[in-house]
Amino acid sequence: MVLHFLVQGRVQGVGFRWFVHREASELDLHGWVRNTEEGDVEIVASGSADDLDELRRSLRKGPRGSRVDHLIEHYLDENEAEGLEAFRIEGAW
């Protein structure tokens, strides 16, 4: 199962990508997280339905200092999981 999430709110400059990386890695999900130019955080994650549910719960809370106003999600085709490796942060320096 592959999901695309877009997290809106106060989600940049508060360690949100690192939080997502930790949560997703603990769940052994594959995929990536990155900031968008619009100030949101975008995530693509592949794994079991239960693990993705757990990630969804974590995304709704976010790390300390963040504020999640909206969590938009949609399912991607299974072939989108091809090429996804261990969860990573894109665009991190």
pLDDT of 16 strictly over 80: yes
- SS3 of 24-59: the string is HHHCCCEEEEEECCCCCEEEEEECCHHHHHHHHHHH
Question: What are residue 22's phi and psi, to 5 degrees?
Answer: -65, -50
Q: Is 20 exposed, middle or buried (0-12, 13-18, 19+ CB in 10 A)?
A: buried
Catalytic annotation, pick one of 35, 56, 57, 88 = 35
CATH number, residue 9: 3.30.70.100
The pLDDT score that the predictor gives to residue 39 is: 96
Out of 17, 57, 60, 79, pick the active-site residue.
Answer: 17
One-letter amino acid identity for 88?
A: R
- pLDDT confidence of 74, banded at 50, 70, 90? very high
Known catalytic residue at 17: yes
Domain count, the chain: 1
Is the per-residue pLDDT at 93 higher than 60?
no
Interval 64-79 mean pLDDT: 96
Q: State yes or no: is 79 an active-site residue.
A: no
Tokens 């942060």 appear where? 89
Instruction: Provide the token pair at 81.
Output: 């999981």
Structural domain containing residue 37 = 2-89
The alpha carbons of the chain give a radius of gyration, in whole angstroms, of 12
Give bridge partners of residue 44 from the DSSP assignment: 4, 32
